[in-house]
């Protein structure tokens, strides 16, 4: 999202040359540039010690589709912390380790998606009210279960490829 008005004072922004960045919307009152804004989300491949992947169905949107555990990052969090929090909130499972996998920009939604591998010990899930179901799949099954061409499919494939090395 590109700013036309200052989010702080509401004044109209002007374009100003900012170093090597090119022309950036600038507030002459607050004396600061406002760079394009986007949200950062973490999208986790949740895997257990047997290399099974946990996918979820949400109680809103496309309820029939299995997706990955995802959420918006909060101010002050690292991606690893955000991924662990989302896994805990949505499934009740504790991530023993969280590792960055890959990233992808979701153009239509102005979201930077950070792919994370969250390792958990297999246990019974205590799913949040936002979920209908959480279910374990082999990596091969998981790739076929999620939407073809989706970002979670890409991240699951990345982890599967790393495991085969
Ligand atoms: Zn301003």
Range of the domain at 6: 1-36
31 plus 43 within the same structural domain: no
87 plus 48 within the same structural domain: yes
How do the pLDDT tens digits run along the chain, 165 residues long?
899 999 999 999 999 999 999 999 999 999 999 999 999 999 999 999 999 999 999 999 889 999 999 999 999 999 999 999 999 999 999 999 999 999 999 888 899 999 999 999 988 889 999 899 999 999 999 999 999 999 999 999 999 998 887
Number of domains in the chain: 2
Distance in Å, CA 33 to ligand 1 centroid: 9
77 plus 138 within the same structural domain: yes
Which of 36, 31, 118 has its CA nearest to residue 82? Answer: 118
Q: Is 20 exposed, middle or buried (0-12, 13-18, 19+ CB in 10 A)?
A: exposed
Strand 111-120 to 39-47 pairing: parallel
Distance in Å, CA 5 to ligand 1 centroid: 8
Distance in Å, CA 81 to ligand 1 centroid: 32
Strand partners, 70: 43
7 plus 67 within the same structural domain: no
Question: Which domain CATH number covers 85?
Answer: 3.90.79.10
pTM: 0.88
């Amino acid at each position: 999202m590109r700013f036309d008005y200052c989010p702080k004072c509401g004044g109209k922004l002007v374009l100003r040359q900012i170093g090597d960045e090119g022309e950036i919307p600038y507030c002459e009152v607050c004396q600061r540039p406002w760079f394009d804004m986007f949200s950062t989300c973490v999208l986790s491949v949740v895997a257990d010690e047997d290399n099974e992947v946990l996918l979820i169905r949400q109680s809103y949107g496309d309820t029939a589709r299995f997706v990955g555990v995802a959420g918006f990052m909060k101010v002050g969090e690292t991606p690893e912390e955000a991924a662990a929090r989302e896994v805990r909130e949505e499934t009740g499972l504790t991530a023993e380790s969280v590792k960055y996998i890959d990233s992808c920009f979701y153009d239509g939604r102005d979201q930077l998606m950070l792919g994370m591998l969250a390792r958990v010990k297999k246990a019974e899930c205590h799913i949040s009210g936002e979920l209908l179901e959480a279910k374990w799949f082999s990596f091969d099954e998981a790739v076929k279960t999620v939407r073809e061409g989706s970002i979670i499919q890409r991240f699951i494939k990345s982890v599967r490829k790393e495991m085969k090395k």
